[in-house]
Amino acid sequence: MEQVTLFEQDLVNAVCRFHGRYKNVDPAAVTVELMYDDATGYEAEAEVDGQVELFNTPTFIAAIRLYIDEVLQRSAASAGIEFDIDDEEGMIARLRF
């Protein structure tokens, strides 16, 4: 089994790409904040033109799956995704294929 790590900037890029497509805007126009809460888990907040939307964990994973398909050019359907907080790297996602 192969493991790939997505670092914090990769996760931000994934949300920007996903939200940009949803809002029909350039991904560069999207501002993202990554968050973790004991009660709600891993989340991302995306902002475009003053409108803020919260990505709960399942939607966050959907954004990562799009990134896997389009940027990594791998099959997202076969990827296991596990979030973690690294002391040095911040929020990361470990992918297992």
43-93 pLDDT tens trace: 999 999 999 999 999 999 999 999 999 999 999 999 999 999 999 999 999
Q: Which two tokens stand for residue 97?
A: 């294929």
Give the whole-angstrom CA distance, residue 55 versus residue 83.
Answer: 14
How many domains does the chain fold into?
A: 1
Cα angle vertex 56, ends 79, 64, to 5°? Answer: 30
Handedness of CA 91, 92, 93, 96 (dihedral sign): negative
- H or E segment to which residue 18 belongs: helix 8-23
Q: Domain range holding 58?
A: 3-96
As beta bridge partners, residue 80 has 96
Instruction: State pTM to two decimals.
Output: 0.94
* Separation of alpha carbons 1 and 7, rounded Å: 19
Q: Which two tokens stand for residue 13?
A: 């890029």
pLDDT digits (tens, 9 = 90+) for 21-42: 999 999 999 999 999 999 999 9
